[in-house]
Amino acid sequence: MFIILSIFVTLVFVLYVYGTRNFNYWKKKGIKHDKPYPFVGNAFNQLVFKDTITDFFVDIYRRYPEERFVGVYMSNDPILIVRDPKDVQRVLISDFHNFYPRGVLKHQDEPDPLVKHLFALDGDLWKLLRQRMTPAFTTGKLRAMFPLIIERAEKLQLLLADSARKNEEIDVKDFLARYATDFIGACGFGINMDALQDKNSIFRKLGLRIFKANFFDIVRNTLKLLFPKLTKYVATVPPDVTKMTTHLVSTIMAERNYEPSGRNDFIDLLLEVKKKGKMIGESLEKKNPDGSPVIVEQELDDLLIAAQVFVFFAAGFETSSSTSSFTLHQLAFHPENQEKCQKEIDEVLKRYDDKLSYDAIKEMKYLKQCFFESMRIFPSVGVLIRKSASKYTFPDSDLTIDENVQVMVINQAMQLDERFFDEPEKFIPERFDPENANNIPNHVFLPFGEGPRACIGKIINVVI
């Protein structure tokens, strides 16, 4: 009995030491933080799905209003929250060479094929992909695809008008998600997804499945958070989503004989990159003996293409539909702003013979102000994640963080911080009038991020 009890006590002790092994990190640095608990750190509410990750970090941010830095533990990992715009600028822009990784993936060699996309990748592969994919998101590309946007917008208008005639209640978020799905299908993949007409479209189902976690998804992701080293070979993306996505991409590429089709869509861009051979560029991570960057290369294989398509589809339809829904919600609750917005739209369209166009959209300044104000209050991404690539000392402070420490910019909290915005909870589109631009401090309005890792699809997201 004594032996069994001794083994049990020893096991509990070993587990406790393992589950608290990094919990002195912020105390030694003199950084204020909440008391962490074994294995979960400060993230218990998130692990039991009481809070979203954004709610969790916003709460921590607001709990220490006088601090420049705040510490937090996600499981056993120390994470730093920066609350000063100057530090935000350093992390996202001026000292980017120290903070180019996001650290979303605990293992960059993770075998899950669909996680190797622009949002999650770090280092040289991220840089090579970003350089090659940027041309797909220019103003010129958007102008060229605008007729496809108009075609789907007109379909949406007809469906909404029909529902209005029938006095039907509608789910605006669902309508806009289906519209975004159709747009992404046409402009990204050159196919008609028909999600607006068909609520049970396979592409709409795929979009819903990506963001709807089942029990097994929850268990898998919880284990990956608590035991990242032990779960390296456990898939992040649900297997059924991986199967559907890879099948879709391989089918589209096969139909095009693995050659650019001339549609100038996202798939064409990736096929053009693949056709040119290996991606070649200067390394972010490796240096020659003389200090110059090593030249690195990477082939764009079919699985890498599938991963980029996956994130283009998932991020595109969710962010576009969410931001548009929140904007319409705010306008519904603020009829005076809605009336002003409608008046501007009518006046602009009158100058263009009542036809929607790219140039007409560009002239709708107040509409853009409403959209930005909505994104200030309800950003699609509320937390910007970076990771230190090497030891780093923050200027004008005694704080030095080690390599591989994650740094968080809580943009949702900053965008609702009364230090930076008067009456931050109120919907006031005039904040973004060009005449008031100087009233918004730099590096606090960050719905698309900032710096070299800012959202690559910003232009498309604003217009559609």
Residue 2, both tokens: 């004594």
How large is the C-alpha radius of gyration of the chain?
24
The answer to the question of whether 455 is labelled as a binding residue is: yes
β-sheet bridge partners, residue 79: 72, 406
- Annotated binding-site residue numbers for heme: 455
Binding site feature residues: 455
